[in-house]
Amino acid sequence: MKRSRGAATSAQTAAAAAATGTRLSAGGAFAVNACFTAGLLVLSQLPLLEQRLAVRASLVAAALFLLAWSGLLFGVLRRGQNVTLEIVLRRQHYLQACLQGMLALYWGYYWREVYHAAPLIAAQLLFAYGFDSLLSWTHRRKFALGFGSFPIVFSITLFFWFKDPFFYWQFVMVAIGLAAKEFLRWKRDGVNTHIFNPSSFPLAVVAAVLLIADASDMTWGFMVAQTEFYPPHIYLAIFLIALPGQFLFGVTPMTLAAVTTTFAFSAIYHAATGSYFFVDAHVPIAVFLGMNLLFTDPATAPRTLVGRLFFGVLYGLTAVLLYEWLLSANTPGFYDKLLQVPLLNLSVKWLDRLAKSPMLKALDPSVWGRALMPRSRHLAYMSVWGIAFAAMSASGHLGDEHPGQWTPFWAKACEAEKRDACLNLYFLQDGFCTDGSPWACNEAGIVLAEHYGNRVRAAAAFERACTLQFSAGCANAAALAKAGMLRHDTPTYVDYQFILRGSKGPLRDREPAELYARACELGWPGTCGSR
């Protein structure tokens, strides 16, 4: 008898899981949960949190919440009753945890805040295990202990951080993801399974709340998305890190379709306008990360190959549409890879039905490789994806050297009045000004004054440039007050330390000769003969 792909997947998952069940008394279950609570209390007393009282209070509150729930459950509701503890080690969970952990370690080497946050990541994991155990024992009297909480917490770490006064929202997101997995379920191919990706669902819900409340400043969302581009060859690193999951679970078609769709749109946009839609990448690094390690959960994706291709195309298109909509609404664009995933999860049954329709079934690429074993087909899809990734990287628009991350491109595009070029130029210069470049402050002021007529903010930019001892900034502050001509000037060695980094991390160990050589390579006027 021929089994469906969904049944085969379920069988493979079951075979991959090693499960043993142990009966626990109410007191034993309370003791197990008390370990997670105690861990939270220990972490809350770390010396590094002495000056971060709001974070410490969040950890203590989370521990007390788990303790109160556990006391109520095992001291009143289940007093004298037994519950079950199972050890279930699912490959998709521990593999995803390893892959995301590797990426976090690489990212953290170039943005050390990731390493500094390690105790807080551990706190979220302890809360996740405590919450999941209590939720399971409350609802089903059975808790499966494994690695399922790791992908949820690591996904949150890779995409969303709350600032210290609002750190408790990290625990709220974990709780939302686990509750959605427990209660929001349906039957697919005769199997009861969760509807939503438990990693992306809480990210989308909280992102929607922050947008509605206009409270994005509560998070480090922009900083997280920006710093993920800091490590060298980060696109290649993510590509390689994601390969084991693609081989084992066959999710390559989704990633392939999503990346190529977004890249193709960006290429067409650049050809039509002479500008870049996403400023410094054809596929922003955080979006690329989402396409490789966020929306690719095989349990909440289509089963059919055509369905998975459509799933990826829809993710790529919605990332573009959301980015445009968010910026048009004067809201941060970093939500563009988060909001759509739950809606896509709801579409998977429809996408599979569509894929099985007579017209599309005849075009199904999997028909050509039906004689191949599943892993052989996965390798074939990965080969196509590898070729596509190599071609996109070779174009110079998917990697460390994208022209849009440096101001000379945008300065020329602004002069030529390309779409949004002056706005993008201002944002780059304003960022470098904030970092400490007086030249960038002066240039940001000129853009504000000449292209947007914002004399108040222009004056503030000129004053900052003057404070940083950039003479042109002082002259322009005076000229602006008298409606005089504004003056450009050339960057100095101090400025090149900031503006030559582009969208990457701070430059390290750069001597003046090296900086001027780099500036010459990037087309900065008057630098090719300077040392």
173 is a domain residue: no
pLDDT at 56: 97
What is the domain-level CATH number for residue 445? 1.25.40
Question: Are residues 395 and 416 located together in one domain of the fold?
Answer: no
101 is a domain residue: no
Question: Are residues 432 and 390 located together in one domain of the fold?
Answer: no
- Tokens for 27, please give them: 């007191």
pLDDT along the chain (531 residues), means of 10: 41 45 89 96 95 96 96 84 90 93 96 96 98 95 93 95 96 97 93 94 97 95 93 96 94 97 97 92 96 94 93 97 93 94 96 86 64 78 96 94 90 90 91 92 93 90 93 92 86 89 81 84 76 55
Number of domains in the chain: 2
Question: Are residues 345 and 449 located together in one domain of the fold?
Answer: no
Tell me how far apart the alpha carbons of residues 333 and 313 are, in angstroms, rounded to a whole number.
20
pLDDT at 149: 95
Question: Are residues 443 and 488 located together in one domain of the fold?
Answer: yes
143 is a domain residue: no
363 is a domain residue: yes
**338 phi, psi to nearest 5 deg:** -110, -40
478 is a domain residue: yes
Residues 6+ apart with CB under 8 A from 63: 37, 38, 40, 41, 44
Asked if 369 and 377 touch (Cβ cutoff 8 Å), the reply is: yes
pLDDT tens digits for 81-106?
Answer: 889 999 999 998 999 999 999 999 99
Residues 6+ apart with CB under 8 A from 453: none
Question: Are residues 303 and 435 located together in one domain of the fold?
Answer: no
Helices (H), strands (E): how many in the chain? 25, 5
User: Which residues constitute the domain of residue 253?
Assistant: 237-400
Tell me how far apart the alpha carbons of residues 499 and 426 are, in angstroms, rounded to a whole number.
13
pLDDT at 106: 97
Question: Are residues 246 and 388 located together in one domain of the fold?
Answer: yes
